[in-house]
Amino acid sequence: MMKHLKAEIVAVGTELLLGQIANTNAQWLSQQLALYGINVYNHTVVGDNPGRVEEAFQMAQKRSDIIIVTGGLGPTEDDLTREAFQAISGMEMIEDKTAMGKIELFFQNHQVEMTPNNRRQARVFKGSTVLKNNAGMAPGMKVTLAEKTWFFLPGVPREMKQITKDEIIPYLQVMIGNEQIIKSLVLKFIGIGESSLEHELKDLIQAQSNPTIAPLAQDDGVVIRLTAKGKSEKSIKQLLNNTKIQILERVGEFYFGEDDQVIEEVIVELLKKQKKKLAAAESLTGGMFTEKVVSVNGASEVCPGGIICYDTAIKRDILGVSEQIIQNKGTVSEECALEMAEKVRKLFGSDIGIGFTGVAGPTQTEGNPVGKVFISISDIHGYQKVEEYLFTGTRNSIRKRACLKGLEIIYNYLKS
């Protein structure tokens, strides 16, 4: 079994350097490699320049055991990955008949004339292992150069992921041997920051060995990734579960789910179980909260609708917020938020209403500073609550933080 394998991901494409697209391929590939205990030591991004691509490849060959290259395998003149690798390896390129047949069939089926440059996509290195592309035209390749393993993949994320799952992962499993299984469990939290979570678990994190404990901040809260190694699924499951119990004993009040679960899914599930319906009146969030809820399958059972009441006249004439509150307290106030939650609940015949009002910016409103937000809740039994916040950041980040805080408030209400 090979140990301490060093991996590197090289992304080829000027559009990545210009920031026109994000390098999500490297992020995803690193996550996959980590599951098999393979450490990624370098992410390299290089533009469509033959000399610089060649230089990046030479560096990767010197320092890494596994090099995964994404991009630069297309039909155009700026697709230079093959040529750059040929320059450092001296390997001959040939046309793969199977890949070429697939490309020709694609154009025939779409009744489009194939331009000659599309033949470039079928070129592979002689002696390489051709990796079948079940999601597109250009095949991938596996090449060994001076005991270093190279994988070449298309830059299109859908195609890259498909080839990795179908072809590369089975190879990695053989490469690392079957003596060790590695699994991860992601625990998700809301209402606690990354630094606070880390502080609460400081001694556990410092003493970590197996599983490892890694707190990470994400857009929809904070996660802890537990990664365990073992010789059987059963032993790994026990390791992960024991550590999960220890963590939840300390910060369980903020825990809402794990792995791919998102907070809105948990909220919809709780609403269904409790046979309750939820409606939202949104000013600064502009429908963002309702969109999150209705993105979940089956949300129609628990969310009859909502109202975007950005303008004061809509708050007054459509939602029914009283003129007295608007004049005396203002639209950015505790009183207005409470009335918004109550009115929307009654308007849609729901059990729970939630109201969002505040100042997203760029300027003050009614003397209130940018970032001041009120979020309120009203239920059919007369329960009312309003929270006041002062968020910082850009206009849209304030709106997103308000939306997330609203999800947190509803989750805690349903949980209690």
| Average of per-residue pLDDT across 321-339 | 97
238-271 pLDDT tens trace? 999 999 999 999 999 999 999 989 999 999 999 9
Whether 179 has a pLDDT exceeding 70, the answer reads: no
Task: Give the span between the Cα atoms of 264 and 268, in whole angstroms.
Answer: 6
Task: Assign 2 a pLDDT band (cuts: 50, 70, 90).
Answer: very low
- CA distances (Å), origin 304, targets 351, 378, 383, 406: 11, 16, 20, 18
Task: Give the span between the Cα atoms of 388 and 333, in whole angstroms.
Answer: 9
Taking 3-state DSSP, the helix, strand and coil percentages for the chain, each rounded to the nearest 5, stand at 45, 25, 30
7-43 pLDDT tens trace? 999 999 999 999 999 999 999 999 888 877 788 999 9
Dihedral angle over CA of 321, 323, 327, 328, nearest 10:
-80
Tell me the β-bridge partners of 215: 224
In the chain, pLDDT over 90 holds for what percent of residues? 73
Whether 194 has a pLDDT exceeding 90, the answer reads: no
362-383 pLDDT tens trace? 999 899 999 999 999 999 999 9
Check: CB of residue 184 under 8 Å from CB of residue 214: no
Q: Which of 267, 408, 285 has the alpha carbon at shortest distance from 340?
A: 285
Whether 228 has a pLDDT exceeding 60, the answer reads: yes
**Average pLDDT value over all residues in the chain:** 92
Task: Give the span between the Cα atoms of 137 and 166, in whole angstroms.
Answer: 15
100-150 pLDDT tens trace? 888 888 888 888 888 888 888 888 999 999 999 888 888 999 999 999 999
Check: CB of residue 68 under 8 Å from CB of residue 10: yes
**Domains of the chain, each with CATH number or no CATH:** 6-176 (3.40.980.10), 181-258 (3.30.70.2860), 263-415 (3.90.950.20)
What pLDDT shows up at residue 116?
A: 84
